[in-house]
Amino acid sequence: MALRWLWMLVPWRGGWNPRLKAPGQEEERHVRANDRDYNERFSYADNRIKTAKYNIFTFLPINLFEQFQRFANAYFLVLLILQLIPEISSLSWFTTIVPLVLVLSITAVKDATDDYFRHKSDQQVNTRQSQVLIKGKLQNEKWMNVRVGDIIKLENNQFVAADILLLSSSEPYGLCYIETAELDGETNLKVRQALTVTSDLGDDVAKLADFNGEVICEPPNNKLDKFMGTLYWRDNKYSLDNEKMLLRGCILRNTEWCFGLVIFAGLQTKLMQNCGTTKFKRTSIDKLMNTLVLWIFGFLICMGIILAIGNTIWEQRVGSNFWAYLQWKELMSNSVFSGFLTFWSYVIILNTVVPISLYVSVEVLRLGHSYFINWDRRMYYSRKDTPAETRTTTLNEELGQVEFIFSDKTGTLTQNIMVFNKCSINGKTYGDVYDEFGHKVDITEKTPCVDFSFNPLMDMKFRFHDSSLVEAIKLEEPLVQEFFRLLALCHTVMPEERNEGELVYQAQSPDEGALVTAARNFGFVFRSRTPETITLYEMSQPITYQLLAILDFNNVRKRISVIVRNPKGQLKLYSKGADTIIFDRLDPSNEEFMFTTSEHLNEFAGEGLRTLALAYKDLDEDLFDEWMKKLLFASTALDNREEKLGALYEEIEQGLMLLGATAIEDKLQEGVPETIACLTLANIKIWVLTGDKLETAMNIGYSCNMLRDDMNEVFIISGHTMLEVQQELRNAKERIVGPSREKLSSVTNMEKTDLYSSDSVFEETIITEYALIINGHSLAHALEADLEQILVDVACLCKTVICCRVTPLQKAQVVELIKRHKRAVTLAIGDGANDVSMIKTAHIGVGISGQEGMQAVLASDYSFAQFRYLQRLLLVHGRWSYHRMCKFLCYFFYKNFAFTLVHFWYGFLCGFSAQTVYDQWFITLFNIVYTSLPVLAMGLFDQDVNEQYSLHYPNLYRPGQLNQLFNKRKFFTCTLQGVFTSFILFFIPYGAFMTAVRDDGAHISDQQAFAVTIATSLVIVVSVQIGLDTNYWTAVNHFFMWGSLAVYFAILFAMHSDGIFTIFPNQFPFIGTARNSLNQKFVWLVIVLTTVVCIMPVVAIRFIKADLKPTQTDKVRLLQQATRRQGPQEQNLRRVRRTSSRRSAYAFAHQQGYGELITSGKNMKVPTSSISTCPVSSPARAPAESRWVEGLMRNKGDLDATTPAVEITGFRRESYQSRELTLEDLEDT
């Protein structure tokens, strides 16, 4: 009970729970099935997830504690206490407590709202239902009530509630299929298999309730691909590994039901261990403001000391003459003590150099900017009714400073939808559409599709536009039929027929499913399979093939082959794989056909399509029997079995006859290449971090134009040891740095030590383009302390970086590495639970509402539906937010220094007595009423250039990355302007009032008239200044500016009126001061003179600077003004074509295939009379591939490959340069 109450009262701290043991304390885990009493002795975590920070009891104390950790809030609290001491305070306490309470309240409401949504999200997950075996019966329980040691039942398409040990399933041999997209981003199905002894338990609840096995395993950790444990049951022990575990976040697929034993629950599951902790994110401006507040506080102390010393000296020399008349106590008559009290009095008076209203205004601005993002209709995805959403309101200006983007691939850059797009059969391409003149027509959604009504088993969702291929099928062209027969036979897809004719294919990868679906629609329907047969419906006629062998895919072979016997008794070998692999094994008679197919493959690859080559071979019966004997012998060998099997596969896969090639489109999200190109022009580096394999990641890199053929070199880091990785990274760095140094040495005489002293400067000297690709096991070594620096060096010298096969935790480590070494603003974007860790680690996390659940969205700071919206988020909203916030801060510090330092100058003329120039009401209302709304309007609505120009000129984003608009230098400039303005505001009226008289000859220089003149001058000066600072005027700006001036004069005359004196005589004693002062022409002349002297230097400096040294923003703004009269011009966005000649041929597996599973019959529900004798494939290293094809194609292939890429690059650079020329011409005019 005590622990439960402690848990309620202690705030959230990254998932801390008193029931969890400290890291390292749990050396091994003991779990006994169906025995809660035993398992509770170990205090394992329950299955509750808690991401919220507060509860109803802890909110107020914890939130106030967090808010007072902000230095400014604590500073104002101290000031409030000082103001309660009458001996040192010349200001009322309400001048501080009102704005302080306002700030704390606004922030508390915002924090409470954010935490409410976290509670709502936690509740949604924790209250999901699960079937738990309790006291011999299956009962529905909430996820949060599941405990370690419980046996739970899962049904098809359900999420796995915890990390469980698979006990039994509805499938033969205890198999089940899971989708792990939430863990690793892969949507292909994976197989898990229960122990034989537990799979016999089936779905017998009585047997499962009697199961009392004990599992001893590793403690909770974040390794998704490893599990080690032992099951002890009935005096036997059984080894457990990762293939018997179902992890939280997976989805059960293609399996009716399964039972599992909970091993890890809640925050100790591997998914949650990989999620990392939620960190409090603060912008770089926030951090800078904290530093500046400390500096200002130091400056305030210095001014207080100067004035205190002045008071001490003045009291000794002048003030002591009046002590006798003042009848002070002896203590008060001490000049040193008087100086001490004066010091604290001036600390209170001058505290407005750091106004608390600044923080209120900043929060209001951020909230307003957040709503602008939420309301942006151009970031609204109508297909899914998904608007953009700002989930964290404190990071908007950071969006304008991003230098690194870390992106997931699957579901973020791509839709993870594979589409059969084109093919080449017998030297002829299919898939393009031509008009009546023979010209190629672009395919759109309105292009008519091929009519597949002749096929009753067609897939209604399949779309193809070239009717000539259907005509070839109907004409029974032999090679066309053989082409689709190969696609229907050569694979490891599992069919599921839910209803008559309703076929669903469960493929190991989406692209393999796309090929089988294409064959289905063209009349070759893969209907069913057993371990020994495959049944097709060829043009509605059932035909059964005898399956003799599957020569399975792996990353070395890069191909898959099947050997079948058709109903006529003919032996056929069908093979598909990488074109270079297949071409090396073709019969020499295919040379001319291969040349034509290679041209087609270049065309397909140039469009970013994933390609495969297809071939077949007629086998001789006697030779095949002899080969099978060798295969049987090799499969039983004890030594070098894999090498022997690989050699036999190689032997029979020679002399193939080419059929053609397929081209599959891995559909990118709309606008991805254009978005990446635009962000690259904004000098934002985009890194892809994906759990997919190397080849798949490279394919997407080429599709997105992140990888191009005109790059100098693509470095692939794949070492298995630290030394190998270190050597590969060093070689890559030498290849990059070497040529650059030679080029630089010929054009400059700079010392090398000077040239390479700055990493950022050196990176800009790299003229050529490189790419770095590193896989997960190599990255694990590269992230070690000894290698991380060289990894950062090489990666930052490359144009493109792709990390593949990375775990969620490695994604976060890469982000943290860049944050630590480059001190740059990072943004992570993803759509799955495997991206949560990097989203939390980056400065800014963006979640995409995609196909992989809502985990990434719930952990993100911003969310939307499409990757392309990132361009608008950064280049428009981010840049505007940064621009507005910087202008707001510069103006605010200027305004308050000008306002406050008047007291400093006045101190030298009032005997350092801590007398204020203004009355206390003006001091209270200046920042809250008189000047708050105009600067808010500027901070909310100002635009240096409009959104079209912001997108059209991405290099306008550069100042934010360089932090040019608000930094320490800008702060000093603003403060110096404020000091100068305060000096003019005080001494021009002071000098004028020295000898001035009223129109009636009376003296004008009473203290209140002097104060009204300075106050009026101050309000007018700062209003004029904000008018100069505002680039984009709206009705709101005009209303706030002129309204604030009107309110000032209204309040001024009201406070000096007879009526308010009658009501509050003690608070408003100066009757008629404003009226008597402001009706004098002399006073208005002083106000005008003061305004002109304060403003004219600023106007002159800005004019000279814009004329002699204009910034890029100045040029674009001038261009915008010059074209404004022409009306809005339509922006023609050209689609960035995918231009790569690289042929992607790894389109059918993310890992080794399911050949062994299929031929063993373990995944077949039908009874099998015998087990296939053909062995399964094993990894076998193919011999070195011949280069004669590459030599044959080099001249033409290279030309076809590089021309489109250069064309696209040229388009981007040419258009970019043309814009620069336009600006230069405009500048010359």
pLDDT (tens digit per residue) in 354-394: 767 777 788 889 989 999 999 999 999 988 888 999 988 88
Task: Check residue 1167 and give its pLDDT.
Answer: 45
Asked which of 159-173, 298-312, 320-334, 532-546 is least confident by mean pLDDT, the reply is 320-334
Q: Is 1090 exposed, middle or buried (0-12, 13-18, 19+ CB in 10 A)?
A: buried
Each residue's pLDDT tens digit, 695-752: 778 878 888 888 887 888 899 998 889 999 999 999 999 988 875 554 444 444 443 3
Alpha-carbon distance of 228 to 235, in angstroms, equals 20
Cα 433 from chain centre: 39
In the block, tokens 């590193």 appear at 774
Lowest mean pLDDT among 81-95, 183-197, 595-609, 889-903: 81-95
More confident: 461 or 555:
461
Both structure tokens of 840: 């939390």
Q: What is the mean pLDDT of residues 767-782?
A: 87
Instruction: Name which of 1186, 1038, 1165, 93 is nearest 583 in CA terms.
Output: 1186
Structure tokens at 985: 């505001």
Instruction: Please tell me the predicted confidence (pLDDT) of residue 108.
Output: 86
CB 350 within 8 A of CB 898: no
pLDDT for 190 = 81
List C-alpha distances in Å: 9 to 12, 118, 126: 9, 17, 20
- Position 1121 scores a pLDDT of 83
Lowest mean pLDDT among 109-118, 901-910, 1136-1145, 1171-1180: 1171-1180
Max Cα–Cα distance, the chain, nearest Å: 131
Closest alpha carbon to 903 in 982, 996, 834? 982
What's the pLDDT score for residue 1182? 35
Question: What backbone torsions phi and psi does residue 539 show, to the nearest 5 degrees?
Answer: 50, 50
Q: Which residue has the tokens 């309301």?
A: 375
So what's the pLDDT on residue 94?
64
In this prediction, residue 1007 carries a pLDDT of 81
Q: Which residue has the tokens 């002109």?
A: 1092
pLDDT at 254: 80
| 83 neighbors 198 (Cβ within 8 angstroms) | no
- Give pLDDT, residue 185: 61
Q: What is the pLDDT of residue 30?
A: 93
DSSP result, 1082-1106: HHHHHHHHHHHHHHHHHHHHHHHHH
pLDDT above 70 (res 308): yes
In the numeric block, which tokens belong to residue 1183?
């011999």
pLDDT of residue 996: 72
8 Å CB contact between 276 and 268? no
At 830 the three-state DSSP class reads: strand
Helix, strand, or coil here: 42?
coil
pLDDT value at residue 923: 85
Rounded alpha-carbon distances, angstroms, from residue 154 to 68, 162, 207, 257, 260: 48, 11, 17, 6, 8
With CA atoms as reference, report the closest residue to 329 among 660, 356, 337.
Answer: 337
Percentages helix, strand, coil for the chain, rounded to the nearest 5? 50, 15, 35
pLDDT digits (tens, 9 = 90+) for 524-551: 999 888 878 899 999 889 999 999 988 8
Q: What is the pLDDT of residues 451-504, one digit of tens each?
A: 888 888 888 888 888 888 988 988 889 999 999 999 999 988 888 776 766 788
| Higher local confidence (pLDDT), 207 or 755 | 207
> Is the pLDDT assigned to residue 865 strictly greater than 80?
yes
Contact 265, 162 (CB under 8 A): yes
Fill in the DSSP letter of residue 957: G
Q: What is the pLDDT of residue 329?
A: 57
* Cα 833 → chain centroid: 13
pLDDT in tens, 802-858: 998 888 888 999 999 999 999 899 999 988 777 888 898 899 999 988 655 566 887
**Closest to 425 measured CA to CA, from 616, 571, 609:** 616
Pairing verdict, β 433-434 and 440-441: antiparallel
Q: Is residue 306 very low, low, confident or very high in pLDDT (cuts 50, 70, 90)?
A: very high
pLDDT higher at 608 or 1010: 1010
Q: Which residues contact 28 (CB under 8 A, 6 or more apart)?
A: 216, 217, 218, 219
Look at 343-347, 871-875, 1063-1067, 1193-1197 and tell me which has the smallest mean pLDDT. 1193-1197
Q: What is the mean pLDDT of residues 1062-1082?
A: 78
Chain mean position to CA 1037: 34
Q: Which two tokens stand for residue 1132?
A: 């023609």
Q: What is the DSSP string of 509-571?
A: SHHHHHHHHHHHHTTEEEEEE-SSEEEEEETTEEEEEEEEEEE---TTT-EEEEEEE-TT--E
pLDDT at 864: 92
Q: pLDDT tens for residues 156-194? A: 889 999 999 999 999 888 888 888 877 766 666 788 889
Instruction: Give the helix/strand (H/E) hosting 229.
Output: strand 229-233
HSE-CB of 360 using CA atoms within 13 angstroms: 18
CA dist., res. 199 & res. 875, Å (int): 56
**Structural tokens at position 479:** 């090679």
Spatial separation of the C-alpha atoms in residues 817 and 783, rounded to whole Å: 8
Residues 128, 161: contact at Cβ < 8 Å?
yes
Higher pLDDT: 1202 or 366? It is 366
Question: How far apart are the C-alpha atoms of 270 and 259, rounded to whole Å?
Answer: 19
Name the residue with higher pLDDT: 1135 or 1180.
1135
Mean pLDDT, the chain, whole residue set:
81
Which amino acid would we find at residue 105? Answer: S
- Tell me the pLDDT band of 1175, cut-offs 50, 70 and 90: very low
Q: What was the pLDDT predicted at 486?
A: 95
Give the model confidence (pLDDT) of 635-644 as tens digits. Answer: 777 677 778 8
% the chain with pLDDT above 70:
82
412-416, 611-615, 649-653, 1116-1120: least confident range: 412-416
Beta-bridge mates of residue 214: 32, 232
Q: Strand order in 229-233's β-sheet?
A: 29-32, 214-217, 229-233, 236-240
Pairing mode, strands 257-264 and 236-240: unpaired
Active-site residue numbers? 408
SS3 at position 131: strand
Least confident of 82-96, 708-722, 746-760: 746-760
Q: What is the Cα 3 distance to its own chain's centre?
A: 37
Determine contact, residues 641/634, Cβ cutoff 8 Å: yes
pTM score above 0.75: no
DSSP 1147-1207: TT-SSS-SHHHHHHTTT--S--SS---SPPP---PPPPPP-HHHHHHHHHHHHHHHHHHHH
Flag whether pLDDT at 338 surpasses 80. yes
Would you give the DSSP letter of residue 21? P
Amino acid, res. 1163: N
Lowest mean pLDDT segment, chosen from 548-557, 791-800, 1076-1085 = 548-557
Q: Is 417 in contact with 463 (CB distance < 8 Å)? A: no
Q: Which residue has the higher pLDDT, 74 or 7?
A: 74
Stretch 5-22: mean pLDDT: 38
Distance CA 1142, CA 608 (A): 8
pLDDT for residue 96: 67
Query: What is the band of 91 on the pLDDT scale with cuts at 50, 70, 90?
Result: low
**pLDDT above 60 for 759:** no
Question: pLDDT band at 119, cuts 50/70/90?
Answer: confident
Residue 1071 in this model has a pLDDT that exceeds 80? no
Looking at 68-179, list the stretches that DSSP marks H as alpha helix, in order from N- to C-terminal side. 71-83, 94-126
pLDDT at 1209: 32
Q: Do 608 and 702 meet the contact criterion of CB atoms below 8 Å apart?
A: yes
